[in-house]
Structure 1
């Protein structure tokens, strides 16, 4: 396995490789791991995320999985990096973490079978698919502001090649306390399936990112919190929450809400999935 990172080195964006606690640029310069200014480890043209995939999350919502995965889109303007600040706008309350594994495409990909997907994946990184549920009432279906607001897609710290996604543990911690723990083995659809499914109708380009879903227990975080997502073999993605200096403008658009649906979804309830619960046995 090789781990690549993108950092700001002497004012320039440089892709470096990791060797222990050192990061090495192609020209031989090096920087200590803890002193590096990180950037997202890839430059996607699109970020696509699956809704439900981990069985623990399905059980938490008392839902049932559809016959095939469903997706939403996060704009590239939501990108953030290891060590970056995640902004909760003033006037919003329901900002949730969602630790995930991210797939990074390495070769242009269209109309392939799942057993061909591995040849089109450059590697994997860690993601935190933050959701600003204050906008869930007005963005039902699209998830645009819920999942696509600025800073809500940290990726990193590095991109790891030749990483086997099977049997890997994902752990999310808030201020050092474990909040999520799950395994890639509890995913209904694995990484190769997700890539092949999207590539049936959407061309995936090098650098594009697919987010593979989160385990149970996504919950709100507050300004001042430090959130870490750790995945076996991929490292630790760390971010901190800050409050935005300004609130949501009130002279245009819908305002943040705090309905039963908002609170239920943010706190792990089943509002979103009422009516599609599994049948009683």
Structure 2
């Protein structure tokens, strides 16, 4: 399966093709993968994400799926790359990973049926749809700061074409330890359905990205942690967590909170209604 990566090389953005452990540019230059400065593999005009899709995630929260998928929008300023630093702002505590498959649009798409979606998809990549749940009490509807803060949308390492999304595993690791273990077969709505659904009212342009949902066991990570998302056939996306250099400003806007809603989402269950308090954090 061909794999394409965008890197920064000698001060320029360059598109490459992977050949084994090397990336090859159009003019024939070769860069070792471990030495490459990766960029997001695409430059989308928009990033759209589905809320709930994996059945294990639904079961974890003891909720029911709606009759049709619902979505939120991540601004492109949230884009990040393979080996990029994910910033947890100073004053925030509840930053969660969410390993996902990202669909990349290949041509202008509007008003298509699900069976037509494949011809409109350029390929697939890996995403980590990080959530800053400290802002969930104020942004739960839009998810703007929860999912759209800077650096919270790593994509990569490459764009893989001719990939069949059926029956593929999706795993997340924190510091090398398994954290999520899911499959694309547990999605209620598959990749083609999601593309067709969004394109009913929103025109999708080449490079646009749709995030297809995460399995159970999204949990908080801390500065210093290394998070990997591995998808069968798409590779492994790696990021590390750092603390932002300045605190969240206290003179404007809603402040980070630690309500039952925040805790139940970050820790994977409705603690209030289960009558169980979450464990104390060090």
1:97 is matched with 97
Asked whether the 8 Å contact 1:6–1:158 carries over to 2, the reply is: yes
User: What is the TM-score normalised by the length of structure 2?
Assistant: 0.96
1:80 is matched with 80
How far 1:270 moved relative to its partner? Answer: 3.0
After superposition, give the CA deviation of every residue in 1:48-91 in whole Å (9 maximum; x if it has no partner).
00000000000000011000000000000000000000000000
How far 1:39 moved relative to its partner? Answer: 0.2
Matched, 1:62 2:39: no
Gap runs ≥5 in structure 1: 275-281
Alignment of 1:257-268 (within 5 A): 257-268=257-268
Asked whether the 8 Å contact 2:263–2:271 carries over to 1, the reply is: no
Note closer, same or farther for the CA distance 1:129–1:172 as it changes in structure 2 (3 Å cut): same
Q: Secondary structure at the match of 1:182?
A: strand
Asked whether the 8 Å contact 1:174–1:228 carries over to 2, the reply is: yes
1:129 is matched with 129
1:191 is matched with 191
After superposition, give the CA deviation of every residue in 1:187-206 in whole Å (9 maximum; x if it has no partner).
00000000000000000000
Asked whether the 8 Å contact 1:113–1:196 carries over to 2, the reply is: yes
Name the count of aligned residue pairs: 274
Q: Secondary structure at the match of 2:250?
A: coil
Q: Distance in 2 between matches of 1:218 and 1:17?
A: 32
Q: Distance in 2 between matches of 1:48 and 1:150?
A: 16
Q: Secondary structure at the match of 1:136?
A: helix
1:169 is matched with 169
After superposition, give the CA deviation of every residue in 1:154-200 in whole Å (9 maximum; x if it has no partner).
00000000000000000000000000000000000000000000000
How far 1:271 moved relative to its partner? Answer: 6.9
User: What is the TM-score normalised by the length of structure 1?
Assistant: 0.96
Note closer, same or farther for the CA distance 1:266–1:201 as it changes in structure 2 (3 Å cut): same
Asked whether the 8 Å contact 1:63–1:270 carries over to 2, the reply is: no
Q: Distance in 1 between matches of 2:34 and 2:273?
A: 43
Asked whether the 8 Å contact 2:79–2:152 carries over to 1, the reply is: yes
Q: Distance in 1 between matches of 2:64 and 2:270?
A: 11
Asked whether the 8 Å contact 2:79–2:151 carries over to 1, the reply is: yes
2:42 is matched with 42
How far 1:140 moved relative to its partner? Answer: 2.1
1:151 is matched with 151
Note closer, same or farther for the CA distance 1:139–1:273 as it changes in structure 2 (3 Å cut): farther
Note closer, same or farther for the CA distance 1:272–1:51 as it changes in structure 2 (3 Å cut): farther
Q: Secondary structure at the match of 1:137?
A: helix
Matched, 1:160 2:160: yes
Asked whether the 8 Å contact 1:61–1:273 carries over to 2, the reply is: no
1:278 is matched with none
Q: Distance in 2 between matches of 1:182 and 1:89?
A: 29
Asked whether the 8 Å contact 1:170–1:184 carries over to 2, the reply is: yes
Q: Distance in 2 between matches of 1:247 and 1:122?
A: 40
